[in-house]
Structures are given as structure tokens and as C-alpha cells.
Structure 1
């Protein structure tokens, strides 16, 4: 068994698709109409057959509340691994991404946290 899809609630699917592809550099794998919303999944350009990140609308009240409370408490919704966190921090900062935590060493890991503009905090980690 392996993880093939993981979901991230977003406030606006179009905004999320733009941010995750144009700003972060993920690749759009699926964009399928499903009634009022779309099945939008992105993947890492380094592993296009790997785990898909589903940009799921936070339309359900429980999803909205969950997303809102995580962000309010400063808890990242998910984590992305990077090879060079300082380079990614610099690249994203230059693109206007707002960080709530600059790269910070924590033992053998360095982490940083940014706002995805779609209601989530996202943690980057370099091992």
C-alpha cells in the first residue's frame, strides 16, 4: 500500500492552481470538472508519477473551520521537502511569498513556514 493522493483544503481553486504551479513550481496533473468544483491535482516536477496533491475546495463547514483553526494557531497544513531550503526561501521571497518563519535550524533539520495565499500555512523542510 502507498499514498497516491493527499488533500489540501483551499479557499479558491483557481488561485490555488496558479500559486502551486506558477509560484511553487508544481506540475498540474489533473484538472477535471466535477460539478460546481474541479478535481485539481498537482505533482512534483521531480516525481510526476508520485503522490498527487489534491487542491480541494473548503466548501464544507467542517473543512472551513479546520483550515481556519490550523492557520490561526500557526500549524502548517502539510510539509514539503526541499534540497536547499535557503535557496527556496530566497526564490519564494523574491516572488512575494510571505513567510511566517524564516529558515530555522532544529537539530538535523531546517524548517521554514509560508502562507500559500489559499488559507494554509505550509512548512518546508530540509533534512
Structure 2
């Protein structure tokens, strides 16, 4: 029986630059940093959670398609906040740039999107109270 999601992979061109973005700007923590013959195995995660994002060096696969609908095209990674508007201000002060000037309300709560230095979409979400009650 499956018990957990271990890793979600994001392809990046510069692992050190990606590590700085995810730790210094978004506040994730570095979990694993292991150089090996097949490539550096580097992960980050939200403090206190078990899921890790693998920042894998692959220049050809980095980034996302260019045809995106702002606010409606989620990223391959969706990070949840318990107070997105407050987190948005912190992230903006740390230099994170966003698709829109402020988070917006939508059917399931509050959302805003950004991209990492390689163009990987990162969706930041806060569930509505109804969404929290339903899962």
C-alpha cells in the first residue's frame, strides 16, 4: 500500500540558484544535498512536512510551456499557506515576483502564482474554510 508522496521533481539549470530561491525567498528548508556520479541529489521541503521537492539539474527540461493563463494555470508545485496574504508580503519583501499585484480570491480560497529562476510555475494557495472542511 502506498503511504506518502516522497518527492516531486522540478528541473533546474542551476541547483545552487534554485536552492537559494526555495530556501531564502520561499522559506523552505534544505533536506538532502548529496553529490553522486549520476548527479547531485538536492531536495527542499516545507518545515514540518514529509514531502520533498527534488531540484534536479536538467537544462533541457527546466521551465514550463509559455502559454499560461495568469491565475488559472497552476504550477507543478502548489504550496499551501494558512495566511497567504501575510506570506505574500514576506515573499515580496524577499524579492519574489508574482504574476499579479496581489493574491486573489477564487472558488477554493486565495491564490497567486510565481515562477522560480528557471521558469517552473509555483502556485501559492490558501484553502477556503469550506475547502479545509472537505479535505
After the TM superposition, list the runs of 4 or more consecutive aligned residues in structure 1 that deviate by more than 6 angstroms: none
**Matched residue count:** 119
Q: What is the RMSD of the two structures over their aligned residues, measured on CA atoms?
A: 1.6
Task: Provide TM-score, normalisation by structure 2.
Answer: 0.80
Tell me if structure 2 keeps the 8 A contact 1:111–1:126. yes
Which structure's residues are more often strand, by fraction?
1
Report the CA distance between 1:36 and its aligned residue.
6.7
What is the CA deviation profile of residues 67-119 of structure 1, one whole-angstrom value per residue up to 9, with x for unaligned ones? Answer: 341xx123423210011110111011111111013311112311101121222
Task: Provide TM-score, normalisation by structure 1.
Answer: 0.84
Larger-gyration structure (1/2) = 2
Tell me if structure 1 keeps the 8 A contact 2:25–2:95. no
Which structure's residues are more often helix, by fraction?
1
The aligned runs of 1:29-40 (5 Å cut-off) are 29-35=31-37, 37-40=39-42
Distance 1:82 1:96, change over 3 A: same
